[in-house]
């Protein structure tokens, strides 16, 4: 089986450039990935940039479903509002399973315009406690601490024949609040991690304690020793992050420590 990760979006929820800002040299759409196996197409997060992001995937004709399943990490705007494209205005979306924590599914089922997608049969709700099996693939939901506003938040672990392959963890408040971080990361071949901010001073005038994320320097210091065995991609990158500049000290330091700075369209494949 050919297994493929496609990074659909490597940016924070607002993308780069953010609305109203000048275009930088690096552009990023909001965080999302696709996992493609022989005959399965899974979407993790439905970003507001979904229509553009799907240009990175093989096309489907009108008789095929847009995706076989969609998994939503949490209800912040960059991660679920692309579900707007799952309605009758767009592609073939008949009874597509939507997986998320019970809290995520409840938010979607009880608020418009998302609730209509379930009523009209575009989506089918699957509150997810633990693991979903999809042929040789399985997807495990792992709760993570992240500002529980509309919903709680999760990471997703994708396994092949029960062996963990990919961890998708776009948002977390702090590594210290998730004691099992090192054990979970090191059990995967590939991790796509929250690398929203490079340093505490990169958003002048904003109280960054209200939008907590681990800083990239800390992530490198904590998990750099895992990079020999686990490929670690840095994603969910904010427009202000020095990782957007390949000549920055932080970018060079991340690469030297064995990390890979994710980009939109980046593809990683292997036989399974
Ligand atoms: Zn986010
Ligand atoms: Zn978030």
Structure confidence by residue, pLDDT tens digits, 175-232:
999 999 999 999 999 999 999 999 888 877 777 778 888 999 999 999 999 999 999 9
pLDDT digits (tens, 9 = 90+) for 23-57: 777 899 999 999 999 889 999 999 999 999 999 99
Q: What pLDDT is attached to residue 244?
A: 95
Q: How far is the CA of 94 from the centre of ligand 1 (A)?
A: 27
Cα 46 to middle of ligand 1, angstroms: 11
Q: Ligand 2: distance of its center to the CA of 39 in Å?
A: 30
CA–CA separation, 191 vs 158, rounded Å? Answer: 10
In which domain, by residue range, is 112 found?
2-271
Task: Work out how many domains the chain is built from and give that number.
Answer: 1
CA of 1 to the centre of ligand 1 (A): 31
Residue 58 tokens, joined: 């093989």
Query: If 0-12 CB within 10 Å is exposed, 13-18 middle and 19+ buried, where does residue 55 land?
Result: exposed
CA of 146 to the centre of ligand 2 (A): 7
- Which of the ligands is closest to the CA of residue 170? 1
Which of the pair, 64 or 7, is modelled with greater confidence? Answer: 7
Instruction: Reply yes or no on whether the pLDDT at 173 is more than 80.
Output: yes
From residue 116, alpha-carbon distances to 81, 86, 140, 226, 235 in Å are 14, 10, 27, 44, 32
pLDDT band of residue 242 (cuts 50, 70, 90) is very high
* Average pLDDT for 139-168: 96
d(CA 184, CA 188): 7
> Within 10 A of 212 (CB to CB), how many other CB atoms are there?
16
| CA of 238, nearest ligand number | 1
Closest ligand to Cα 12: 1
Nearest residue to 72 (alpha-carbon basis) of 18, 139, 133, 11 = 139
CA of 109 to the centre of ligand 1 (A): 21
CB distance 32 to 82 below 8 Å: yes
Contacts of 155 (CB under 8 A, 6+ apart): 73, 141, 142, 144, 167, 168, 169, 170, 172, 184
| Residue 113 preceded by cis peptide, ω within 30 | yes
Report how far ligand 1's centroid is from the alpha carbon of 63 (Å): 32
71 C-alpha vs ligand 1 centroid, how far in Å? 14
Residue 29 · residue 56 · CB < 8 Å:
no
Closest ligand, as measured to the CA of 236: 1
| pLDDT score, position 201 | 81
* Alpha carbons 31 and 194: distance in angstroms, whole number: 10
Ligand nearest to the CA of 78: 1
């Amino acid at each position: 089986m050919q297994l493929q990760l496609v990074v659909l979006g490597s940016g924070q929820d607002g993308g780069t450039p953010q609305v109203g800002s000048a275009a930088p040299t690096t552009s990023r759409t909001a965080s999302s990935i696709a996992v493609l196996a022989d005959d399965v197409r899974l979407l993790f997060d439905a970003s507001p940039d979904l229509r553009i992001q799907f240009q990175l995937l093989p096309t489907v004709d009108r008789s095929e479903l847009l995706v076989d399943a969609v998994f939503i990490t949490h209800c912040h705007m960059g991660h679920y509002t692309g579900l707007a494209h799952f309605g009758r205005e767009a592609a073939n979306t008949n009874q597509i399973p939507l997986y998320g924590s019970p809290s995520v599914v409840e938010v979607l089922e009880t608020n418009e315009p998302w609730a209509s997608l379930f009523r009209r049969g575009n989506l089918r709700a699957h509150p997810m406690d633990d693991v979903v099996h999809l042929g040789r693939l399985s997807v495990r939901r792992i709760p993570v601490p992240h500002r529980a506003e509309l919903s709680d938040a999760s990471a997703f672990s994708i396994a092949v024949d029960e062996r963990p392959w990919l961890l998708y963890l776009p948002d977390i408040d702090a590594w210290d609040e998730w004691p099992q971080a090192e054990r979970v990361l090191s059990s995967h071949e590939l991790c796509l991690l929250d690398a929203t901010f490079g340093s505490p001073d990169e958003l002048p005038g904003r109280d960054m304690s209200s939008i907590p994320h681990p800083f990239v320097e800390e992530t490198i210091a904590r998990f750099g020793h895992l990079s020999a065995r686990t490929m670690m991609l840095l994603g969910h990158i904010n427009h202000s992050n020095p990782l957007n500049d390949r000549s920055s000290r932080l970018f060079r330091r991340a690469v030297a420590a064995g990390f890979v700075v994710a980009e939109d369209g980046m593809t990683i494949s292997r036989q399974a």
